[in-house]
Amino acid sequence: GAGVSQSPSNKVTEKGKDVELRCDPISGHTALYWYRQSLGQGLEFLIYFQGNSAPDKSGLPSDRFSAERTGGSVSTLTIQRTQQEDSAVYLCASSLTGRDYGYTFGSGTRLTVV
Amino acid sequence: GESVGLHLPTLSVQEGDNSIINCAYSNSASDYFIWYKQESGKGPQFIIDIRSNMDKRQGQRVTVLLNKTVKHLSLQIAATQPGDSAVYFCAENIWMAGNMLTFGGGTRLMVKP
């Protein structure tokens, strides 16, 4: 597609449930990133995929969070046993390989844990 | 002027005035910088970038200034318009980090009509 697509755009879930958030990057973009943004705050790095390399998971806040990227394209961020503090906007971005390329962000998934 | 909002610093300007948004970056090894604009309900969007071999770069109504001596980056918006109201983030890249960007905390720009 023309841009980074994220689904769902909004998700309300009960505390303790698992959720899956999906990201479709721009075709041909080898790098994919997940960020979390709490209300009125900055961007918190979660995880980074680059081609076939092992992902950089250094930003994942707990072992309840995991992500995978299948076929070098679509990525899924999974949060198990959701907690209220997981409520945030989850942003996905993709980029070409090469350090001079900025990210293209999706519009995010707003997750609310009740 | 600048003030601390709920979580993000906020800059309020009158429509038509020039805006200056500042960013102090963290790593003296950073050599590529980007400004992003995030409107309500949307993801951040690329505005302008600059490499460390430059001090200034201009776009349409926007100018980015880089002062490597004090590790300071600024975004100047000329003739600020209501559509410029958004949160602005600076991001830095270090050559050894490959694609990875490190984002600053963001500044909320509010344009008063």
Q: For residue A78, is pLDDT > 90?
A: yes
Q: Are the CB atoms for B110 and B9 separated by under 8 Å?
A: no
Mean pLDDT comparison of A55-59, A67-71, B80-84, highest-scoring range: B80-84
Choose the mutation target among A103, A104, A109 for the interface with B, i.e. most B CBs under 10 Å: A103
Burial (CB count <10 Å: 0-12, 13-18, 19+), residue A64: middle
Q: For residue B2, is pLDDT > 80?
A: no
Q: Which residue of B has its CA nearest to A105?
A: B43
How high is the mean pLDDT of chain A? 92
Q: Partners of A6 in the beta sheet?
A: A23
Q: Are the CB atoms for A86 and A114 separated by under 8 Å?
A: no
Task: Provide mean pLDDT across the span A41-59.
Answer: 90
Choose the mutation target among B25, B31, B101 for the interface with A, i.e. most A CBs under 10 Å: B101
Q: What percent of chain A has pLDDT over 90?
A: 75
- For B84, list phi and psi in degrees, rounded to 5: -85, -10
Burial (CB count <10 Å: 0-12, 13-18, 19+), residue B106: buried
Confidence of residue B26 (pLDDT cuts 50, 70, 90): confident
